[in-house]
Chains A and B, each alone.
Chain A
Amino acid sequence: MQLLWQILVNGVLLGGLYALMALGLVLVWGVLNIVNLAHGALIMLGAYACYYLFTGFGLDPFAALPVAMVLLFCLGYLIQRHVLNLVIRAPMFNTLLITFGLEVVITFLAQITFSADFRTVNPSYAGANFVLLGATVPLVRLLAFGVALGLTFALWLFLDHTGIGRAIRATAQNLTAARLYGVNPRRLYALTFGIGAALAGAAGALYGVVSQINPYIGSSLTGKSFAIAIIGGLEKSIYVLVGGLFLGIVEALTALYIGPTYTDVVSFGILVLVLIVRPTGLLGRTA
């Protein structure tokens, strides 16, 4: 019983980070209709930004997080404006290919620049923990969970309650109508992709604190984010929390009761099931 409680705590904390990882992907997918296969590579860049701010400038990783977000926002804005915008009207297959290409290029440049050495962001409190009702709670995971929750909530507020946020949602729903109301989609798309990249940057900064980083972590993170997006559904950004927590808990339980070698099989098996049974996601409206 004690063990089960510990596993659930682990799963929830992991799920929070998962949700943040997928949040940017979901936003870009929902608004721009681009499945950004370079999303994991952007997370990787966020992790390196945090690493260099921490080791080079002694900046605490949680203080480095907003800086990483700003850097990634700028990069995302530029990528959308000068690369993706050229194919925004192209079929989905083309955008898939172009983001796949971006992923390969970013990963390669990262290896050239950062080398293939494994890095960790290791602040003095990285190993700190406390006991809650008999379960050990790692402090950094809890902080990461809090940040993930906060950013998801902030994005939801932004999209639902600000002018720009509404414009973004309007563009996603009906481009022509949004244009008639004076929305400039080109700027808005770049802004959205920038926000998506910034969220990837935040996820990366937290990822480096709990895990090791190297230039090749991107593709598996994209895969995971994709599964979460599908499980949660694209309808509302807040649903991604459900997808992340669900996957985190399922993986933790699978590792314990079925065996750690089966976690990927189970999570992607669920992805397939969701696509068949509830294609709009667990919380999405059924057609």
Chain B
Amino acid sequence: MKNLTLLFATMTLLLGSKLFAAPIELGASVQLTGQFANTGRYYGDAYQFAVEKINAAGGVKIGNAREKLNLKILDNQSDVNLSVRQYVQLVTQDKVNFLLGPFASDFALADSAISEKYDIPMIQGGGASDQIFSRRYKYIFGTLPPASDYFQSTLELMGQLKPAPATVALLYADDAFDVSVADGTRKAASKTSLKIVVDQRYSSKASDFNSILSLIKSQNVDAILVAGHETEILNFIRQAKTLNVNPKLYSFTVGVPSADFRAALGQDANYAFGMTSWVPSVVLKDDYFGNAEQFANEYKKRFGYEPDYHAASAVGDVEAFVKAIESANSLDPAKVRDAIAKVDFDSLYGRIRFNAAGQINLPQTVVQIQKGKLVPVYGPKGLLEKPLYPMPEWGKR
């Protein structure tokens, strides 16, 4: 009798270990609080959402077994140093299998040193700076298109506008991402007839743009291109209005696609150009969410706010891991790393295929806020919708 109980217990244990195999651990350190929490939340929420969906669909197939994903998210409080420590903790103490990235280039730049040091692949959807990928690191992959290309499509559009803008003011914040954007924009503009007449770097914490706006106004600049953060861009537009600065167009790297940007500015958000690597359309099919539009609707219902390209990019990161693990048929970090380098699939975010440096290339669709709505105006195939140009003066809106 005693032997029978023992046998039963052993069998339960064996069966149990088979049925409840240790899930695949994904770890990330994200800005859930602190000054970048507004964008950081996209990553926390989208990672979570993608993992739930993938698990609900049966998980990840390795050999004949199906393994669930388990997500461990730590809050780095928008502190780069803390995020580096948290990634070390995720790798050395929590022993996660793979790493998902934080938001923002400065963070990805620092944190990718950890994935490289411990040979654990990291796929990140929050850092676009070319600097992240120019160090020949093997274990970092990114799903945002290169920062240096952000204004590329906008410059193409500007070439087609009538009357064509001739002079440009280029403003950028002094962090890794925005410096890369400015470098790329300068290079691209030099190949056009556009002349950059104001080229200024500003401090990332700046809240007052009155001096620079006065300078732009005195030079009568046609187009203003700003690479910065949403807080700065909100202030920039409001102050442009109060100082009655009237360029023919202005475009911003971030903010424009976000719903809360439009809510904060109200009517003053109109006419602003921006860009996005993602438009939530039915064309973008996805194995887990159906398509991008369905994802956007479900996301909004679940979290109470609209997703933008940050969220879509984050989902792409999780799905890229699933594809890579399945094709490597293993959890071995080196094998999965090689598999990531070879993935090529369509997702709700777009086609995910990494180049030799580890970054993907997606075209930036130019968007404009027209009558309070976000309208895609220029894509890789040309004009999508008539851009409102030139902007009417502030007094005549």
* A binding-site residues for B, Cβ under 8 Å: 2-3, 6-7, 10, 14, 108, 111, 116-120, 122, 126-129, 136, 138-141, 210-212, 214, 216-217, 220, 251-256, 259-264
CA distance A2 to B205 in the complex (A): 28
**A262-B203, A264-B203 as given contacts; A127 in contact with B241, CB under 8 Å:** yes
CA distance A2 to B218 in the complex (A): 8
- B208 near A14: Cβ-Cβ < 8 Å: yes
**A3-B218, A108-B33 as given contacts; A263 in contact with B241, CB under 8 Å:** no
Chain A to chain B contacts (Cβ below 8 Å), 6 pairs: A6-B217, A116-B37, A138-B239, A138-B243, A211-B235, A216-B78
* Set B206, B239, B263: member contacting A263, Cβ < 8 A: B206
- A111 near B238: Cβ-Cβ < 8 Å: no
Which of B37, B202, B208 has the most CB atoms of chain A within a 10 A radius of its CB? B208
Closest CB-CB distance, A21 to chain B, in whole Å?
12
Residues of A within 8 A of B297 (CB): none
Chain B residues within 8 Å of chain A by Cβ, number: 42
- B244 near A259: Cβ-Cβ < 8 Å: no
> Nearest residue in B to A252 (C-beta to C-beta)?
B211
Residues of A within 8 A of B231 (CB): 118, 212, 214
Give the contacts of B232-277 with A (CB-CB under 8 A).
234-235, 238-239, 241-244, 260-261, 263-266, 268
B89 interface contact, C-beta 8 A: no
CA distance A63 to B394 in the complex (A): 26
Residues of A within 8 A of B234 (CB): 118, 120, 212
Closest CB-CB distance, A256 to chain B, in whole Å?
5
> Nearest residue in A to B173 (C-beta to C-beta)?
A261
Residues of A within 8 A of B244 (CB): 129, 136
**A120-B264, A127-B394 as given contacts; A260 in contact with B38, CB under 8 Å:** no
Closest CB-CB distance, A178 to chain B, in whole Å?
40
CA distance A30 to B234 in the complex (A): 36
**Number of residue pairs A-B, CB distance < 8 angstroms:** 127
Q: Mark B364-397, 1 if CB is under 8 A from A, else 0.
A: 0000000000000000000000000000001000
Give the contacts of B174-222 with A (CB-CB under 8 A).
174, 200-203, 205-212, 214-215, 217-218
CA distance A101 to B393 in the complex (A): 47
**A120-B238, A214-B231 as given contacts; A260 in contact with B37, CB under 8 Å:** no
- B41 near A116: Cβ-Cβ < 8 Å: yes
CA distance A250 to B260 in the complex (A): 33
* B binding-site residues for A, Cβ under 8 Å: 33-35, 37-38, 41, 78, 174, 200-203, 205-212, 214-215, 217-218, 230-231, 234-235, 238-239, 241-244, 260-261, 263-266, 268, 394
- B211 near A256: Cβ-Cβ < 8 Å: yes
**A10-B214, A136-B243, A264-B203 as given contacts; A119 in contact with B264, CB under 8 Å:** yes
**A7-B211, A118-B261 as given contacts; A212 in contact with B235, CB under 8 Å:** yes
- A259 near B205: Cβ-Cβ < 8 Å: no
- B260 near A141: Cβ-Cβ < 8 Å: no
* Set A128, A129, A211: member contacting B207, Cβ < 8 A: A211
CA distance A120 to B237 in the complex (A): 12
**Leading 10 A-B pairs by shortest Cβ distance:** A138-B242, A255-B211, A127-B241, A260-B202, A116-B37, A10-B210, A212-B234, A216-B35, A116-B38, A256-B211
- A120 near B218: Cβ-Cβ < 8 Å: no
CA distance A252 to B206 in the complex (A): 12
- A111 near B37: Cβ-Cβ < 8 Å: yes
Residues of A within 8 A of B34 (CB): 216
Closest CB-CB distance, B300 to chain A, in whole Å?
15
CA distance A286 to B181 in the complex (A): 49
CA distance A111 to B35 in the complex (A): 10
* Set B215, B264, B265: member contacting A3, Cβ < 8 A: B215
Which of B218, B261, B264 has the most CB atoms of chain A within a 10 A radius of its CB? B264
CA distance A220 to B394 in the complex (A): 31
17 additional A-B residue pairs with CB within 8 Å, beyond A117-B38, A127-B242, A263-B203: A2-B218, A7-B210, A14-B210, A108-B33, A111-B37, A116-B33, A129-B242, A141-B242, A211-B238, A220-B205, A252-B211, A256-B214, A260-B201, A260-B202, A260-B206, A260-B211, A263-B208
